[in-house]
Amino acid sequence: MAYLQPRSELRTHSVENQSGPLEGLNAFENDIVLKEAVRRGGASWAEANLTSLGAKIYDPAWMERAELANRVTPELKRFDRFGRRVDTVEFHPAYHDIIGMAFQHDLHALAARDSRRGAHVARSAAELMFAQLECGVLCPIDITYGVIPMLRMHQPDLAEQWVPLMLSQDYDPRPIPHWEKTGVTIAFTSTEKQGGSDIRRNSTFATPVGEPGPGREYLIRGHKWFCSAAGADVIFVVAQAEKGPSCFLVPRWLPDGSRNPIQLERLKEKMGNR
Ligand SMILES: Cc1cc2nc3c(=O)[nH]c(=O)nc-3n(C[C@H](O)[C@H](O)[C@H](O)COP(=O)(O)OP(=O)(O)OC[C@H]3O[C@@H](n4cnc5c(N)ncnc54)[C@H](O)[C@@H]3O)c2cc1C
């Protein structure tokens, strides 16, 4: 399209020394350093997935969604219109499109699903590209990635129950019980006001409902200060148990179909991220 330039005496400057648009470039195919790193790291088998993801990074339609997901920030919905607590976070549909796309490309679970050599390299390459499009969705993605091996290693009984849902590539944003969903997102919270690094000072307490011990039911009472992706379906919560701080899997819904009373107080600004 030809732009009509202002009359020469009205021009203030000419635009130069600016990069051209990246639209249409494949973020994987055109990144020779990344491609070489993937091959050297033994992840050539993942190139089809990486090329397919790479095609979306500079796609104007995806870039527009990323822009929208950043501009139209999430909103905290604490009550429904009848005054019942719901404690959910509402996002612009563009946010859900983007996180759904990340799930399809397996950013949340690639190395947990595929034990081939180079799986972590493949996943890192995907994340490196994805971060060029949008970082706001990476928290639940990365937490899921971290939680799966932790659960498998430390609590295989819970892993058996939860990991299939965590591995799902079918992202499901509906705020409904996890057993009705096609996939879940995960959050994590340890940080409290009196300290983040020093979790020994946590004042959130976990009391056993019956027999104490790993994998048993606990009642947790306390207040957290940071929880990225607070609207997630499952929150891993650090709380003081009988022998010191421990980590608890806290589902948003209880087995009897009632809401687990997790109250979200506010959404806060954290280093440009909401
Ligand atoms: C974008 C973002 C997202 C976050 N998401 C989450 C989340 O999802 N869940 C969650 O639980 N938390 C989250 N956090 C919080 C984060 O994990 C904490 O900020 C972190 O644990 C540090 O705690 P703090 O800020 O209280 O700092 P402090 O622990 O008070 O530390 C302050 C300073 O003291 C130093 N320090 C602390 N202890 C020691 C020590 N023993 N020796 C020497 N130096 C020390 C630290 O390096 C730092 O410079 C998030 C933070 C950010 C910025």
Task: State the distance from the centre of ligand 1 to the C-alpha of 246, rounded, in angstroms.
Answer: 18
Find the Cα–Cα–Cα–Cα dihedral 142, 149, 262, 198, rounded to 10°. -80
At 65-87, the pLDDT tens digits run: 999 998 999 999 999 999 999 99
| 192 DSSP 8-state letter | B
Which pLDDT does position 268 carry in this prediction? 87
Q: Residue ranges per domain, the chain? A: 22-251
Asked if residue 205 lies in contact with residue 186, where contact means CB atoms within 8 angstroms, the answer is no
Residues 6+ apart with CB under 8 A from 149: 112
CA distance 65 to 75: 17
Q: Burial level of 123, CB count in 10 A (0-12/13-18/19+)?
A: buried
Q: Which residues of the chain have pLDDT under 70?
A: 1-4, 272
Q: Burial level of 104, CB count in 10 A (0-12/13-18/19+)?
A: middle
Q: Residue 100 corresponds to which tokens in the numbers above?
A: 């759904």
Q: Which of 21, 126, 134 is nearest to 67 (CA)?
A: 134
Which pLDDT does position 2 carry in this prediction? 58
Question: Which atom of ligand 1 approaches the CA of 189 most closely?
Answer: 11
Mutation probe of ligand 1 site: the residue of 197, 234, 235, 271 with most atoms within 8 A of C-beta: 197
The CB of 245 under 6 Å from ligand 1? The reply is no
How many CA atoms within 13 Å lie on the side-chain side of 89?
A: 24
Length of the chain in terms of residues written = 274
CA distance 106 to 204: 34
The CB of 93 under 6 Å from ligand 1? The reply is no
Task: State the distance from the centre of ligand 1 to the C-alpha of 197, rounded, in angstroms.
Answer: 5
22-251 has which CATH code?
Answer: 2.40.110.20
Q: Residue 235 corresponds to which tokens in the numbers above?
A: 């929150």
Which pLDDT does position 272 carry in this prediction? 67
Which pLDDT does position 193 carry in this prediction? 93
